[in-house]
Structure 1
Amino acid sequence: MSKSNYPLKNHTRIIICLFLLLSFFSCKKNEVILFDKAHIDNLSENKKEYYLDSIVDLLKSKKNDSVTRNLYLNIASEYYYINNTNKSLSASLKALNLSKLANDSIRMAKASYFVGDCYENSKKDSAYFYYLKAEKLYYAVDDYDNVAKMLFNKGHVLFYDGNYVESEIQVSKALQYLKKSGNYQLLYSCYTLMGNCLEKLVNYNEALRYHNLALGEIKKMKINDSINNYNIISIINICNLYDLQGQYSKSIKELEALVSKDLRKKRPRLYANVLSNLAYSKMKSGDYKNVESMFAESLKIVDSIGVESDILYKKIYIGQYFLTQSDTVKSIKNLKDAHTIAIKINNSNEVLTSLKLLSEIDKKNSLAYTNEYIKLSDSINYVQKNADDKYARIEYETSRIEDENKILTKTNFYILIISFALILLLLVILILRYSKYKNKELQFLNKQKLANEEIYLLLMEQHEKINNAKENEKSKIAKELHDGIMNRIYGVRMNLGFFNTKCDKEIIEKRKLYIFELQNIENEIRTISHDLSQNNFFDGNDFNILLLNLIENQKDISNTQFKYINNEELDWESIQNIYKINLYRIIQEAILNINKYADASNCEIKFHKIKNNLLKMTIIDDGKGFDLKVNSNGIGLNNIKERTEFLKGNFNIESNLGAGTKIEVSFKF
């Protein structure tokens, strides 16, 4: 690149970048506008590369979506078409990595295919590996046409690495997938490669059959161009088979029909190959007319194009021609040129061909060429054997990794199933526990409701008793006032009224007696008032009333003196009825047991408030007691235990023969 044209190219690149930036920011919905295929096709090779580079720069800031991945694949394809395999490889690998991150199998397959294409001429084993990866991915998504294409590509790599048997196997597999396919171009390529493999394996009849099958696929392609590349290539391949079988006249007839000015103008490289093959067939048939000029013309064309592989074959043909003309100097020169080119492009088969011909022609250096031929042949056989092992190893390693992935996937699946089962089991346990808790809560609420109802009934009963007692007290007071006090007051009033008219000493003394009687009446009224005040024991806490009433009722039915000690610190209104009714029933059960078994003289029932929310009840009697080891599972004690457990409280009993019994119940409220 000269200094004079650099600014112009740099300016062009800036314009392209600005154009892309404007497209990038103006098109939010249709981002495919970044890759304008029609615009790219109209650019020169250098400008096309700048354009593609600019798109790559813009894509670096884009998110990993299907549009971005497609753009990388399109760019990789365009780089490949302008023979920039390094940038094509970079774009393909980027697309592959992004597709892996997105778990995009279809684009992973396509990117692997593109990477394989980039490696085909430089690292055949890497190309084979990526074609194999693409094949597996396409198979996973049921894209059998592309599976066949990857098998063909693998066969192509194997063919040009000299492994014709394995190449034939891969193409056979590809044809199995293409039985019902409409991909005529791929079928043509497979038939052609199969024919070439069979040619190398010296199975000429089968090779000819496959090349004719390839010709049959060309008709299905419906190509409009008057110069049909596929047809010309197939005829050249068929003519090579005719030459190998010594049927030179057939070859000459077919090739002469292809030579035309139109072919030379539109497809100069193909024209050169047809011309050199025709010259070779004529030479082998013994017809040397115009052969040298034909070889010279074909060599000149391919030399101007710069295709070294074509130059190589032309040089070998020309070397053989001059040998037939007994011009060993020109023959050796052309064969040496061919040998140099073969080494340069690493075409081992033609290196051997040129060495073999030189060993036969150059008598002076025949031994050296022969030794080099043997050495190279052994080396090629060794390399080819290693290559066979290498491709087999790639297939094995890929298969092994797939098997490991399947095992890992299966293991992960089992882990997922087990995890799901464990989570489900945990959920079931939690639901059952929750249901059990809710059920217990419901039972507790039901019991609390029943306790409330029971407390209510007890209180109503107690209130009825209180009301009856009040009515009795009222009647008693009314009777006392009417029959006693009122009559006495009336009598005193009458007498005092009578005595007020007299003033003698005896009357005054009698008046004093009636005044004293008034004092007695006053005292009696005070006594009645005091008794009335004493009978107001019902005023206060209702639960205390229930307990007091329960204790009072024992006086008539038991020889034991029961004593209830009321704790003034306790606010029974703050304690739920469920606790009160169970305490009431526990006291009832304890009193029943004492009356039946204890033979006690005294029993004391009291409550203690410990800290803020802990209540402790003790029931102590001085009865005959019992042995806890023998009689600790009675119905009464079990009832007390169950009620205490229901309250989530603690139950303790202490008793010894002849030493009485102490029951303790404590719980939080």
Structure 2
Amino acid sequence: MVTSFRIFFLFLVLVIFSCKKTELTGSEFNTVISFDRNNLEGKKKEQYLDSIVALLKLQKNDSTIRNLYFKISTEYYYNNNLEKSLSTSLVALHLSKEVNDKEGIAKALFYVGDSYGNIKKDSAYFYYVQAEKLYYQLSDYDNMSKMLFNKAYVLFYDGNYIECEVEISKALKYLKESKDLRLIYSCNTLMGNCLEKLDNYDKALWYHQLALNSLEKMKLNDIDKKEISDYNITSIINICNLYDLKGEYSKSIKKLKGLLSKEFKEKSPRLYANVLSNLAYSKMKNKQYHNVYVMFSKSLEMVEKSGDELDVLYKKIHIGEYFLTQKDTVKAIKILREANQLAIRLKNSNEILTSLRLLSGLDKKQSLYYSNEYIKLSDSINIVQKNAHEKYARIEYETSRIEDENKILTNKNFNILIISFVLILLLVIVFVLRYFKYKNKELKFLKMQQKANEEIYLLLTDQHENINVARDNEKAKIAKELHDGIMNKIYGVRMNLGFFNAKSESEIVEKRKEYISELQNIENEIRTISHDLSRGSFFEGNDFNVLLLALIDNQKEISTTRFKYRNDEKLDWSTIQNIYKINLYRIIQEAILNINKYANAKNCDIIIQRKSNNRLKLCITDDGEGFDVENKKNGIGLLNMKERANLLKGHFTIVSKIGMGTKIQIIFYLNSVAQD
């Protein structure tokens, strides 16, 4: 009753303050707000925290208010409301940035990463990376090591064990002189688990022993005995798992037996259940089947009472393996099916694979089904892990790139400031000297100087506009050349190499060499793009008809569409400017790519004719699926074709209907544009 009255009183005070919209000092806030987790739980706790947040919004941004946001974020976190924990942490981040509180910014980044947790691991990783770099700048190596540990934790549970090992190694390096024994214990434990996944069992044992050594130091630092005891048991379980993996079951049995006691069961029933289950598993692997089923059943019963479904899943799989050793196929299939369904519900991919693997060998009727499911899931996990590896590497790269850009920008701004100051100083000196030297001509000089300054300003303005226009034009050219040229060539080479990858005949090997050579040509073309956007060198010395025929001929290997190219024999390409040939080539190249990707056409005709009045006509016709021109949203390919036609002052038309193919026609006058 007393506790309830206290809670009601605090809540009432908050409501009164909210209504009056008064502003409290930090010390007054600390007197009013209580974060005792034993008072409130669940929705009541959340409502209480919401009322505090509403009141905090009315206060000035100071260190006390920011610390309260951090505390509230923590309370939301322990109340299992990660969404509100995240929003509160983001507010703390914003407030810290407002006053350039670097320690607060780093702490807020850390809290944001924790709030994302297992929901969005890539986002959590991103914020941990930023917090790590900021803690490094602050020389706060303990917190920096904590961020490295958090990154490693994310990598571990995404299956990136090698990267996990690297991050933990960095953390342990910085923790050599640290007094944070809990973090040292956690890092050594995670390193041991990581090396276990990498099949380096001896080294994993060494790190788990280091974790145990740090527990001995913790005993001297007045740390809670139950906490140390739980850590100790966890490490022994990890060590026994390694003994089991090495086949040294008797060692595991001896250590686990020594842990079981009535006092341990009463104080930590869940941990007791895990020890009991692991002991039963080790005995089963050592073919000591006496009392094993009873131990498994007892541990399962205990974890079911605790409501931890993940522990229930592990126990059921172990029991299924036990029935398998006893050749009780019916019971084994029954409990492994239950485990499989639970693993699917919990989205635990490792245990789904384990249950599928065991069921595929047991359930003869559905063996093929379980085998196929196992293969599909295994393949998908490999793809996810590969993507995760690339994703986390990209986050590291992009973060460092942004930092480098900020440094460059800061240096540029500083240089501009120094130069501006020097120029201003010089101008002042010149002005003073001229003032004393030509005092009698001051008025005339000032008028002339003003006029000159105006002219310089106008010239600089015009020049700046010209530079901007030229820069935009160059960017547009680069985008077109990369999309229409390099990307199309790479697509063609990739399709061919993909087609030949699974074959090893000598003819195929020679073909593959040709496409590798083509990749080298593409590399040279990229280098050429960086030095000469006009692309004139690509067509100089080459017959344009030969280039087009080679482009068409390359499609035979990668496309089911039959391409035909017809050219006006009277057309002399040597008399035509490179700008027309470049853009014609790129338009045809883009059209071929679109036909291969989307049209599913059997035939495609490409015709170039020279008409009267010095006109050139390109017509590309296919019998593919077509599309609704009115409703179709134009992609970058069609836009590039239109832009190239406009560059040549030509007329671009496209006619298409669903099921009736597509016709693209471009007509333009030769010599209507000047070559750049």
Same fold at TM > 0.5: yes
| Superposition deviation, residue 41 in structure 1 | 4.6
Q: Which residue of 1 aligns with 2:562?
A: none
Q: Which residue of 2 aligns with 1:231?
A: 232
Q: Which residue of 2 aligns with 1:168?
A: 165
Q: Which residue of 2 aligns with 1:110?
A: 107
SS at 2:238 equivalent: helix
- Paired amino acid for 2:51: S
Q: Are the aligned partners of 1:16 and 1:51 in contact in 2 as well (CA < 8 Å)?
A: no
Provide the rounded CA distance (Å) in 1 between the counterparts of 2:26 and 2:189. 45
Provide the rounded CA distance (Å) in 1 between the counterparts of 2:407 and 2:153. 29
Q: Residues 129 and 262 (structure 1 numbering): CA distance in 2 closer, same or farther, change over 3 Å?
A: same
How does 1:5-404 map onto structure 2 within 5 Å? 15=12, 17-18=14-15, 28=25, 30-33=27-30, 36-37=33-34, 39-222=36-219, 223-226=223-226, 228-404=229-405
Q: Are the aligned partners of 1:24 and 1:31 in contact in 2 as well (CA < 8 Å)?
A: no
Q: Residues 19 and 214 (structure 1 numbering): CA distance in 2 closer, same or farther, change over 3 Å?
A: farther
Provide the rounded CA distance (Å) in 1 between the counterparts of 2:394 and 2:309. 33
Q: Residues 146 and 427 (structure 1 numbering): CA distance in 2 closer, same or farther, change over 3 Å?
A: farther
| Superposition deviation, residue 55 in structure 1 | 1.0
Larger Rg: 1
Provide the rounded CA distance (Å) in 2 between the counterparts of 1:180 and 1:314. 41
Q: Are the aligned partners of 1:77 and 1:88 in contact in 2 as well (CA < 8 Å)?
A: yes
Q: Are the aligned partners of 1:34 and 1:55 in contact in 2 as well (CA < 8 Å)?
A: no
What whole-Å deviation, never above 9, does each CA across 1:580-638 have from its counterpart, x for those lacking one?
Answer: xxxxxxxxxxxxxxxxxxxxxxxxxxxxxxxxxxxxxxxxxxxxxxxxxxxxxxxxxxx
Q: Residues 229 and 22 (structure 1 numbering): CA distance in 2 closer, same or farther, change over 3 Å?
A: farther
How many pairs are equivalent? 435
- Paired amino acid for 2:385: Q
What whole-Å deviation, never above 9, does each CA across 1:344-365 have from its counterpart, x for those lacking one?
Answer: 2222111111111111111111
Q: Residues 24 and 70 (structure 1 numbering): CA distance in 2 closer, same or farther, change over 3 Å?
A: farther
Provide the rounded CA distance (Å) in 1 between the counterparts of 2:184 and 2:102. 25
Q: Which residue of 2 aligns with 1:568?
A: none
Q: Which residue of 2 aligns with 1:519?
A: none
How does 1:410-559 map onto structure 2 within 5 Å? 410-429=411-430, 432=433
Q: Residues 437 and 289 (structure 1 numbering): CA distance in 2 closer, same or farther, change over 3 Å?
A: farther
- Paired amino acid for 1:62: Q
Q: Are the aligned partners of 1:151 and 1:171 in contact in 2 as well (CA < 8 Å)?
A: yes
Q: Residues 440 and 360 (structure 1 numbering): CA distance in 2 closer, same or farther, change over 3 Å?
A: same
Q: Are the aligned partners of 1:20 and 1:54 in contact in 2 as well (CA < 8 Å)?
A: no
Q: Residues 414 and 242 (structure 1 numbering): CA distance in 2 closer, same or farther, change over 3 Å?
A: same
Identity %: 63
Provide the rounded CA distance (Å) in 1 between the counterparts of 2:283 and 2:401. 53
Q: Residues 322 and 100 (structure 1 numbering): CA distance in 2 closer, same or farther, change over 3 Å?
A: same
Q: Residues 193 and 61 (structure 1 numbering): CA distance in 2 closer, same or farther, change over 3 Å?
A: same
Q: Are the aligned partners of 1:312 and 1:342 in contact in 2 as well (CA < 8 Å)?
A: yes
Q: Are the aligned partners of 1:356 and 1:373 in contact in 2 as well (CA < 8 Å)?
A: yes
Provide the rounded CA distance (Å) in 1 between the counterparts of 2:273 and 2:81. 26
Q: Residues 427 and 37 (structure 1 numbering): CA distance in 2 closer, same or farther, change over 3 Å?
A: farther
| Superposition deviation, residue 11 in structure 1 | 7.5
Provide the rounded CA distance (Å) in 2 between the counterparts of 1:24 and 1:217. 51
- Paired amino acid for 2:67: N
Q: Residues 19 and 171 (structure 1 numbering): CA distance in 2 closer, same or farther, change over 3 Å?
A: farther
Q: Are the aligned partners of 1:191 and 1:211 in contact in 2 as well (CA < 8 Å)?
A: yes
| Superposition deviation, residue 164 in structure 1 | 0.6
What whole-Å deviation, never above 9, does each CA across 1:519-557 have from its counterpart, x for those lacking one?
Answer: xxxxxxxxxxxxxxxxxxxxxxxxxxxxxxxxxxxxxxx
Q: Which residue of 2 aligns with 1:407?
A: 408
SS at 1:63 equivalent: coil
Q: Are the aligned partners of 1:355 and 1:370 in contact in 2 as well (CA < 8 Å)?
A: yes
What whole-Å deviation, never above 9, does each CA across 1:425-454 have from its counterpart, x for those lacking one?
Answer: 34545655677799999xxxxxxxxxxxxx
SS at 2:170 equivalent: helix
Q: Residues 168 and 421 (structure 1 numbering): CA distance in 2 closer, same or farther, change over 3 Å?
A: same
Unmatched 5+ stretches in structure 2: 443-676
Farther off after superposition, 188-197 or 335-344:
335-344
SS at 1:30 equivalent: helix
Provide the rounded CA distance (Å) in 2 between the counterparts of 1:235 and 1:435. 89
Provide the rounded CA distance (Å) in 2 between the counterparts of 1:144 and 1:188. 16
SS at 1:409 equivalent: helix
- Paired amino acid for 1:326: K
Provide the rounded CA distance (Å) in 1 between the counterparts of 2:184 and 2:7. 46
Q: Residues 35 and 411 (structure 1 numbering): CA distance in 2 closer, same or farther, change over 3 Å?
A: farther
Provide the rounded CA distance (Å) in 1 between the counterparts of 2:32 and 2:169. 38
What whole-Å deviation, never above 9, does each CA across 1:620-665 have from its counterpart, x for those lacking one?
Answer: xxxxxxxxxxxxxxxxxxxxxxxxxxxxxxxxxxxxxxxxxxxxxx
What whole-Å deviation, never above 9, does each CA across 1:193-244 have from its counterpart, x for those lacking one?
Answer: 1000100010000000000000001111123425611101100000000111
Provide the rounded CA distance (Å) in 2 between the counterparts of 1:26 and 1:60. 10
Q: Are the aligned partners of 2:11 and 2:48 in contact in 1 as well (CA < 8 Å)?
A: no
Q: Are the aligned partners of 1:13 and 1:47 in contact in 2 as well (CA < 8 Å)?
A: no
Provide the rounded CA distance (Å) in 1 between the counterparts of 2:346 and 2:284. 27
Provide the rounded CA distance (Å) in 1 between the counterparts of 2:52 and 2:421. 46
Unmatched 5+ stretches in structure 1: 1-7, 442-669
- Paired amino acid for 1:174: A
Provide the rounded CA distance (Å) in 2 between the counterparts of 1:113 and 1:261. 40
Q: Are the aligned partners of 1:24 and 1:34 in contact in 2 as well (CA < 8 Å)?
A: no
| Superposition deviation, residue 83 in structure 1 | 1.3
Q: Are the aligned partners of 1:13 and 1:50 in contact in 2 as well (CA < 8 Å)?
A: no
Provide the rounded CA distance (Å) in 1 between the counterparts of 2:359 and 2:386. 27
Q: Are the aligned partners of 2:265 and 2:272 in contact in 1 as well (CA < 8 Å)?
A: yes
| Superposition deviation, residue 122 in structure 1 | 0.9
Provide the rounded CA distance (Å) in 1 between the counterparts of 2:169 and 2:11. 51
State the TM-score, normalizing by the size of structure 1: 0.61
| Superposition deviation, residue 251 in structure 1 | 0.8
State the TM-score, normalizing by the size of structure 2: 0.60
Q: Are the aligned partners of 1:31 and 1:67 in contact in 2 as well (CA < 8 Å)?
A: no
Q: Are the aligned partners of 1:188 and 1:214 in contact in 2 as well (CA < 8 Å)?
A: yes
SS at 2:225 equivalent: coil
| Superposition deviation, residue 27 in structure 1 | 5.3
Provide the rounded CA distance (Å) in 2 between the counterparts of 1:112 and 1:257. 43
| Superposition deviation, residue 369 in structure 1 | 0.7
Provide the rounded CA distance (Å) in 1 between the counterparts of 2:39 and 2:7. 19
Provide the rounded CA distance (Å) in 2 between the counterparts of 1:278 and 1:192. 20
Farther off after superposition, 9-18 or 384-393:
9-18
Q: Residues 59 and 327 (structure 1 numbering): CA distance in 2 closer, same or farther, change over 3 Å?
A: same
Q: Residues 363 and 13 (structure 1 numbering): CA distance in 2 closer, same or farther, change over 3 Å?
A: farther
- Paired amino acid for 2:69: Y
Q: Are the aligned partners of 1:80 and 1:118 in contact in 2 as well (CA < 8 Å)?
A: yes
Provide the rounded CA distance (Å) in 2 between the counterparts of 1:13 and 1:29. 16
Provide the rounded CA distance (Å) in 2 between the counterparts of 1:165 and 1:281. 28
Q: Are the aligned partners of 2:21 and 2:58 in contact in 1 as well (CA < 8 Å)?
A: no
Q: Residues 27 and 301 (structure 1 numbering): CA distance in 2 closer, same or farther, change over 3 Å?
A: same
Q: Are the aligned partners of 1:131 and 1:153 in contact in 2 as well (CA < 8 Å)?
A: yes
- Paired amino acid for 2:279: L
Provide the rounded CA distance (Å) in 2 between the counterparts of 1:387 and 1:378. 14
| Superposition deviation, residue 253 in structure 1 | 1.2
Q: Are the aligned partners of 2:73 and 2:89 in contact in 1 as well (CA < 8 Å)?
A: yes
